Structure 1
Amino acid sequence: MPDGDRLVPRDSAVHREFTRPYQVSRSLRETPVDRWNGDLYATYQAPDEDPRWGRFDPKTGALHMSADLVLRHLTGSVAETGRQRQSQALATVLHESTHTGMLTDAPGEPNAVRDDRSLGVMEGVAEYRAVFDFDNYVGVAGYHGLVLAQPQYPGPFAAMDDLVAQVSGPSKDRQTLFKELTSGPGAMRFDQLADSVVRNRLADVVPSRPQDQQAVKAALITRLANPLWPTLLKRPAGSGLALVGEIRQHLNSEVDKTRHHYGRTPQTPYPSDAPNPAAVELSTGGDRPAQPERASPGPVVEMRFLDAQPPASRATSTRPSLGQGVRGAGAPATSRTQRPTERRWDQATDKSWLWITPAPLKSIPLPSFRRPPPTEHQCHSTSQSSTRRTRKRAFR
């Protein structure tokens, strides 16, 4: 068969067997939208090409799946051989169905982050779901007993796993937060995470007034929406943990500043800038609401992301290892088989823009991604205050 994409007839057995686990994935976490238009393309590649598992094309609404890596393994039952390939094929369906179940943009929301940082978090959410929903998913889909040995994207998965554990708590637990993260526009992922911080750590000081809630979440989003989120795709798990370790320090600083502000001036909204100022101007008729004067910034905490080292505040903590054979646990010596990511904001069909070649990284002990999700989480103690690092990119 020549390389390229071939449309799979909707009345074919291949299309039916793909649609069945796809619908199972949708039923496990129902969302208001389903962007798949029903068109399924089988992707054929030359032997010397870098393998591609699958992708969702937000411009056309079609799904493209590898004929060899995905479609041939969807047989309706557990295979006698090649079970790990079959597990990865099903995880690909689960991953891509997460993308089809959520919109991308939210132009009218003041706290929408409308750039690559949200795309990076969307990949983390999709891979997080592929891991934690996998056992239940394969059981319902008729593939009992299959096991997913490791996440396809260790960097985004480890970052999202650690971040969800960090911001969840008794007022919004991990399961509730994750349910929110798998629905709604992708541009609002940081707002959902910030809302969890407000509920679990600031509910006793931040007024329930909408203006205060929006302003505090906007300030927290500047800490959460780190510019390095899009670079995690091909990074090992240690890089994801290092990035979230830095985010933890910035969040703790912002939480302290918020408490100090409302302790002194409880009637004054917290000073912050909305991530999506166009939406603010639209809602106010072009007049931006007045904000209190903010204090001058202090010294910036240097990022330790590029060498995948944990922040100093966590240098004495230990974590169990994922074990041997984790794809992406170190710098790749050769090209690896990966499921591609969603392209920038529904504008393109190819996803090679985010396939970044990583520099060599040091390995650090990694957490077991099979641990059961906690019901409560106590955030780490406040670390040294650092300045807000912002990054504004034009939305295209």
Structure 2
Amino acid sequence: MAVTLVDRDSEEYRRFAELYKAARALRPNETDLWKGDLYATSGEGGWGAFQQQDGSFKLSRELVLDQLGPDANPHDQVQALSTILHETNHARVPVDAPKEPNAVRSRHSKALDEGLTEFVAVKDVAVFAESAGYGELPDAKPEYPAAYRATDALLEYAAGPDGKDALADRAIDQPVVMRWDVIADEIVKNKLGDVVPPDPQHQQAARAELINAMVSPEWDELHKQQPVVGHDAARQTTQALDNAAARIREHYAQNPAEPCPAKIPNFEIAKQQAEQLNDPQNRTRAADVDLSKLPPPAADSRVDGAAPSRTTSASGQQAPAGAAAPASANDPMRFLGAQAPAAEATHRKPSLGDGSRGAGSPAGPGTQRATPGRTTGPIEHGH
């Protein structure tokens, strides 16, 4: 795959910069992780990627940049615009929330991130196209079909009277690792509001119990799976949530004054809390520490429970020249390579996988396949 830095004085760069500005205007916020560099790829590669490590965009010249002109095929054009929307959302907010007990710092959050980011991009693309002067275009076809379908079902399950679109809007504003917490918060409010007290410790513990139910092996690298796997994951996640809600109700029927004894999703906090107990057995079972012993959520990494904020995801780990860069201590996405479910993890040092749009599709990276609404071309993973 050839990678070329796009000249900032070029028409190609100007057009992308204007689209990026229009995409951000749809979901304005203070955080902007793009440092100004744009790279064009050609040959084998994905649709596009936002590079968390250096704050640059990498977009396919054939599949994205060349489809932004007035003579492009409308089906190709809408997919190119969806890619820009997707990658812009990856550059909007931080990834990590290390002080949050309910942060899921494993690659399960990568799958939810891609599914949720694609859900929002597909939802927004018609308005985006109109605002950017492209007029009415065909419907966009989602990438990450398994993660997209599982995320859609999860939002539908959790959503309250405002609907799943409103829940997605709240979740996309949170750090990547906190989006499970937003969904769990919605479930507590809509399905368990009659049993879980409004006290912050009770609320946090109930959310943790639901998060541990959601973050199951089915979500491990779900963004790389076939569409049918998304249906299976959705069904199993729904059942796990029903069971978790039943456990929470049973707990409060027997112990109404005590928070639910949930495991801590954030393995690093669980480990620290276990060590503070100065008990060798607790050091080896860090994830079993009771959430009721923890302080309320940190105000600087989570908005209030009624209306959580939005997140960013890394779309690619490759260096500008196209060579894969190893995860480092400065890589904000490094922990998303962790394989263990968040409720079970302890000291694992994760590594970052590629997060570009397209590489997680069923055919995998660097393959040729025909996709409805797209040209036949190389598919990477991540918008």
TM class, shorter-length: 0.7 to 0.9
Percent of aligned positions that are identical: 35
Map of 1:216-365 to 2, 5 A cutoff?
216-279=206-269, 286-287=276-277, 291=290, 341-343=315-317, 345-347=332-334, 351=354
The aligned residue for residue 120 of structure 2 is: 129
Instruction: After TM superposition, give the deviation of residue 241 of structure 1 in Å.
Output: 1.8
The aligned residue for residue 39 of structure 2 is: 41
Map of 1:95-110 to 2, 5 A cutoff?
95-110=86-101
Residues 278-329 of structure 1: CA distance to partner in whole angstroms, max 9, x if unpaired? 335668993499749xxxxxxxxxxxxxxxxxxxxxxxxxxxxxxxxxxxxx
CA distance in 1, matches of 2:131, 2:156: 27
Asked if structure 2 preserves the Cα contact closer than 8 Å seen for 1:119 and 1:342, the reply is no
The aligned residue for residue 371 of structure 2 is: none
Map of 1:63-74 to 2, 5 A cutoff?
63-74=57-68
Instruction: After TM superposition, give the deviation of residue 182 of structure 1 in Å.
Output: 1.3
Amino acid aligned to 1:351: D
Instruction: After TM superposition, give the deviation of residue 243 of structure 1 in Å.
Output: 0.5
Instruction: After TM superposition, give the deviation of residue 42 of structure 1 in Å.
Output: 1.0
Amino acid aligned to 1:189: R
* More contact order relative to length (CA 8 Å, sep ≥ 6): 2
Map of 1:139-158 to 2, 5 A cutoff?
139-158=130-149
Q: Which stretch of the first structure deviates more once superposed, 229-238 or 196-205?
A: 229-238
CA distance in 2, matches of 1:349, 1:9: 29
Instruction: After TM superposition, give the deviation of residue 71 of structure 1 in Å.
Output: 0.9
Is residue 2:110 matched to residue 1:84?
no
Instruction: After TM superposition, give the deviation of residue 68 of structure 1 in Å.
Output: 1.5
Q: What runs of 5+ residues in structure 1 fail to find an aligned partner?
A: 293-339, 360-396
The aligned residue for residue 341 of structure 2 is: none
Residues 191-220 of structure 1: CA distance to partner in whole angstroms, max 9, x if unpaired? 111111101001111011111111111110
Q: SS of the counterpart of 2:58? A: strand
The aligned residue for residue 54 of structure 1 is: 48
Q: TM-score, normalised to structure 1's length?
A: 0.70
Instruction: After TM superposition, give the deviation of residue 153 of structure 1 in Å.
Output: 2.3
CA distance in 2, matches of 1:267, 1:350: 43
Asked if structure 1 preserves the Cα contact closer than 8 Å seen for 2:29 and 2:92, the reply is yes
Instruction: After TM superposition, give the deviation of residue 158 of structure 1 in Å.
Output: 1.1
CA distance in 2, matches of 1:201, 1:357: 34
Q: Which stretch of the first structure deviates more once superposed, 201-210 or 346-355?
A: 346-355
Amino acid aligned to 1:64: K
Q: 1:180 aligns with which of 164, 170, 177?
A: 170
Instruction: After TM superposition, give the deviation of residue 349 of structure 1 in Å.
Output: 8.5
CA gap of 1:267–1:352, structure 2 versus 1, over 3 A, is closer
Map of 1:102-121 to 2, 5 A cutoff?
102-121=93-112
CA gap of 1:105–1:160, structure 2 versus 1, over 3 A, is same
The aligned residue for residue 202 of structure 1 is: 192
Amino acid aligned to 1:87: V
Q: TM-score, normalised to structure 2's length?
A: 0.72
Asked if structure 1 preserves the Cα contact closer than 8 Å seen for 2:49 and 2:355, the reply is no
CA distance in 1, matches of 2:166, 2:25: 17
CA distance in 1, matches of 2:352, 2:265: 27
CA distance in 1, matches of 2:136, 2:238: 37
Asked if structure 2 preserves the Cα contact closer than 8 Å seen for 1:34 and 1:100, the reply is yes
The aligned residue for residue 369 of structure 1 is: none
Q: SS of the counterpart of 1:142? A: coil
CA distance in 2, matches of 1:229, 1:291: 25
The aligned residue for residue 32 of structure 1 is: 30
CA gap of 1:198–1:269, structure 2 versus 1, over 3 A, is same
Count of aligned residue pairs for this structure pair: 303
Q: SS of the counterpart of 1:228? A: helix
